[in-house]
Amino acid sequence: MRVVSPPLLAPDEPPAWHIEHADGRSDYVLICDHAGNRLPRRLGTLGLAADALASHIAWDIGAGAVASGLGDALDACVVLQPYSRLVIDCNRPPGSADSIVSRSERTTIPGNVAISRAQAAARESAIFVPYHAHVRELLDARLRRGQPTLLIALHSFTPVYLGIPRPWHVAVLYNRDPRLARLVAQALRDEGGLVVGENEPYAVNDDTDYAIPRYGEARGLPHVELEIRQDLIDDAAGQSAWIARLARLLLHVHSDLC
């Protein structure tokens, strides 16, 4: 007799997506793959202490709040993914080496060390698949309406990684299509006082990223992946400052691009 496992997410747990300003008038659409650090109850704590689950290994600190605030400021649609990247990384192709990690920086993730294919598939089915289905449905609906779309994937990065400080305040990432990214990078540099990384400390490619290759490049949408250093947006004051800055710059960039 085949044993059927219960769903990963209980009926009273939130879904793997949260959409704000679904009918926003802005051409901008913001997605945040690592907006939260929530864990499904069935996974417990993945064997981690509370401080590890609150740290950068579990989520992109501040990114969700900045994305939400930008949505408010621009009247732009925002799609947030509330579950921890340690459950499954929604910006990695399923089955890739970094989709479900057993180690992040110097921290072993006990609950991921001996994960089976069935367990990995359950995480993909419960979180990755529905989140991206809603992103695709949103983009498809805008296309049907003839509504232009400029895609921003919003992330944040730790100021120190493996003991090495990162000097950049913000990073602008792209791969094959630099249309929007280079305008945003120049606008940030023109602010003065900001160290702006261009494809550093990360770069986008088909093997290590999901959103930009699938939604930006494959659909021909102008796009950029924005990374803000976490110590700049780990409190309300920093988040508000970056929301105001980015809202102003993105409106300026939009006029240049369109």
* 51 contact partners, CB below 8 Å, separation of at least 6: none
C-alpha 86/C-alpha 142 separation (Å) is 31
pLDDT tens readout for residues 208-257: 999 999 999 999 999 999 999 999 999 999 999 999 999 999 999 998 88
**Unique residue bearing structure tokens 């929604």:** 90
pLDDT of 20 reads 98
pLDDT of 234 reads 98
**pTM score above 0.85:** yes
Bond into 201 cis (ω within 30): yes
Task: Give the residue-averaged pLDDT of 193-199.
Answer: 97
Dig out the tokens for 76 from the structure.
Answer: 């732009």
pLDDT of 257 reads 80
DSSP letter assigned to residue 191: T
pLDDT of 2 reads 55
Task: Give the residue-averaged pLDDT of 5-21.
Answer: 94
| In the predicted structure, residue 171 carries a pLDDT above the cut 90 | yes
245 in Cβ contact with 191 (< 8 Å): yes
66 in Cβ contact with 243 (< 8 Å): yes
pLDDT of 4 reads 57
Dig out the tokens for 197 from the structure.
Answer: 């990384």
34 in Cβ contact with 63 (< 8 Å): yes
**pLDDT averaged over the chain?**
96
Q: What is the SS3 assignment for 134?
A: helix
Task: Give the residue-averaged pLDDT of 142-164.
Answer: 97
pLDDT of 1 reads 46
| In the predicted structure, residue 35 carries a pLDDT above the cut 50 | yes
pLDDT tens readout for residues 87-122: 999 999 999 999 999 999 999 999 999 999 999 999
Report, in angstroms and rounded to the nearest whole number, the Rg of the chain calculated over CA atoms.
Answer: 18
- Quick one: three-class SS letters along 6-53? CCCCCCCCCCCCEEECCCCCCCEEEEECCCCCECCHHHCCCCCCHHHH
C-alpha 209/C-alpha 89 separation (Å) is 10
